[in-house]
Amino acid sequence: MQAPRKYQTDFFAAGIVPRRLVEALAELQRRCGVRVYFSGGTIRDWLMGRMPLDLDVTVRRGAVLCCRELIDILGAGTFVSLGTESEEAARVVWGRLQIDISAFRKGAQTIEEELALRDFTINAMAMAYGDTRIIDPLDGRKDLDKGLLRCCPEAFQHDPLRMLRGYRFQAERGFALTRECVAAIAQQHRSIKQSAAERICYELERIMMCSAAADAVRDMAETGLLWAIVPELYEGVGVEQPGYHHKDVFHHSLLALDQLEQVIQRPQWFFGASAEVVVDYLADATRVKNLRWAALFHDLGKPATCSSGTINQAKVTFYNHDQVGRQLFLELAGRLRMSRRQAESVGKFIELHMYPFHLSNVRRTDALSRKALLKICKKAEDDLAGLFVLAMADSLAGQGELKPVDMEEQLAALFDEIQDVRQKHVEPVLHGERLVSGHDLIERFKLCPGPLFKEILGELEVARVEERVTTREQALVWVEKYLEQK
């Protein structure tokens, strides 16, 4: 981590606080009779040379009243309650700026006492309104200069979620947790279960948005925090794998997450003629985040489906681990209160992650049918490129004796072939004009709506992709013959 830029002597001259808000805060102090302090992330980011995305403000008492008064003074703004039973806090949304105002916690009488109740020393600094001096009772600026994340006294007892937040700061900003901080997490990791699932999921989501997610997850496993949050992953520790793999299930999954980052950063290194399709797909941050989730959990179903056998004789199998893994992930996602849409998206990757390998194995000896390529296109839909990014990472993470030496090249060639067939033959059928509709099946062939409709229209799609049917007249004849054979 780079040393922070030398901070300006005048916080307000830095342009962090708009002039209108500066005047409003002066009036706020007069009206409410409280001292206003800028604190936490606002001071930390300013010292690092970053423009804070919002303002953290601390007052001794009356945070809610201060928010409402500030809206009145500004003549605009939206009030948002942030408080809990033990902490009084609220937010003012004013244009694009968020001003979070919190009161002193747990009976603190001074700003120094209040700062000592924070999570990490780099967030335990403040500056009084109108004063250029930094209040830094725990030497947070020194830790910031060194890129260290040191926990405040009893930080994790006050809020166990702070342990997870520490790894989020590590992933997002490159901070290194001190040995004392790591030891405290290892000792208290089980208390994370006291935190609300929504808060845990939020921190995990932030970690999965980062390129350094694999390092954070690895370090969380070493302290036991990861197992306390997702014990399902621990089931993969020690589950050995034959064939393509050289690591147990968990460490392979962790390595897949690590290798995924290499593919994300340099897709052109791994994909051929269709590399630009992958680049376009990875331009979406939400897709990339979901891929990281999928990489870490893609083999979640292996421990439950592991057969008895001998590793040396390559008889250990994990039949249907993709299907089982999807279901296990959906249950885990529900426990974490992950959105259903996101859970289904990640679950689809888990369910389909073996598909590219199956097709590659067939392709080594036989030409792939357009029917097989249509099937993967329909299953993966808009996530076809993402599925192959995941497969590439999965392949790179497996270096077992039985793995084909050109596995990655075969995956790239397969993706190129699928893209070619998809563009020329699949897309015109799936998104072009229908030759036969459900109405035709009812009116012309006197069929009742039901499962047979889907079967007929699906098989007709195959016939069109294979160019055995190209016109409406041919399609109607094809349906008639199909029904005769049925």
- pLDDT, one tens digit per residue, over 419-471 is 999 999 999 999 999 999 999 999 999 999 999 999 999 999 999 999 999 99
pLDDT, tens only, 66-106:
999 999 999 999 999 997 777 899 999 999 999 999 999 99
Reported for 377-383, long-range contacts at CB under 8 A and 24+ positions apart, including other chains, are: 377/418, 377/422, 377/426, 377/430, 378/430, 379/352, 379/355, 380/348, 380/352, 380/355, 383/287, 383/345, 383/348, 383/349
Classify 6 as helix, strand or coil: coil
pLDDT, tens only, 296-312:
999 999 999 998 654 44
pLDDT, tens only, 313-358:
457 889 999 999 999 999 999 999 999 999 999 999 999 999 999 9
Residue 486's pLDDT is what?
Answer: 80
Tell me which residue of 428, 420, 437 sits closest to 470, measured CA to CA.
428
How is residue 115 written in tokens? 């700062």
At the top level of CATH, which class does the domain 154-229 belong to?
Answer: mainly alpha
Mean of per-residue pLDDT scores for the chain: 93
Residue 309's pLDDT is what?
Answer: 52
pLDDT, tens only, 122-145:
999 999 998 889 999 999 999 999
**Cα–Cα distance between 162 and 330 in angstroms, integer?**
26
Residue 308's pLDDT is what?
Answer: 63
Question: How distant, in Å, are the alpha carbons of 87, 227, 228, 334, 417 from that of 330?
Answer: 33, 18, 18, 6, 32
Quickly count: other Cβ atoms within 10 Å of residue 276's Cβ.
Answer: 11
State mean pLDDT over 175-193: 97
Split at pLDDT 50, 70, 90, the class of 4 is very low
pLDDT, tens only, 277-297:
999 999 999 999 999 999 999
Which percentage of the chain shows pLDDT scores above 90? 86
Residue 169's pLDDT is what?
Answer: 96
Residue 3's pLDDT is what?
Answer: 46
How is residue 51 written in tokens? 């423009």
What is 244-425's CATH topology? Hypothetical protein af1432 (1.10.3210)
- The residue count of the chain comes to 486
Residue 12's pLDDT is what?
Answer: 64
Longest dimension (CA), the chain: 88
Split at pLDDT 50, 70, 90, the class of 7 is very low
What CATH number does domain 1-143 carry, 3.30.460.10, 3.10.180.10, 3.30.450.370, 3.40.470.10? 3.30.460.10
**CA angle (6 as vertex; 5, 8 as ends), nearest 5:** 120
Residue 79's pLDDT is what?
Answer: 96
Split at pLDDT 50, 70, 90, the class of 398 is very high
Question: How distant, in Å, are the alpha carbons of 3, 8, 20, 223 from that of 11?
Answer: 19, 6, 15, 38
Residue 170's pLDDT is what?
Answer: 97
Which percentage of the chain shows pLDDT scores above 70? 95
Q: Where are the domains of the chain?
A: 1-143, 154-229, 244-425, 438-485
Split at pLDDT 50, 70, 90, the class of 164 is very high
Residue 314's pLDDT is what?
Answer: 52
pLDDT, tens only, 33-69:
999 999 999 999 989 888 777 899 999 999 999 999 9
How is residue 472 written in tokens? 């409406």
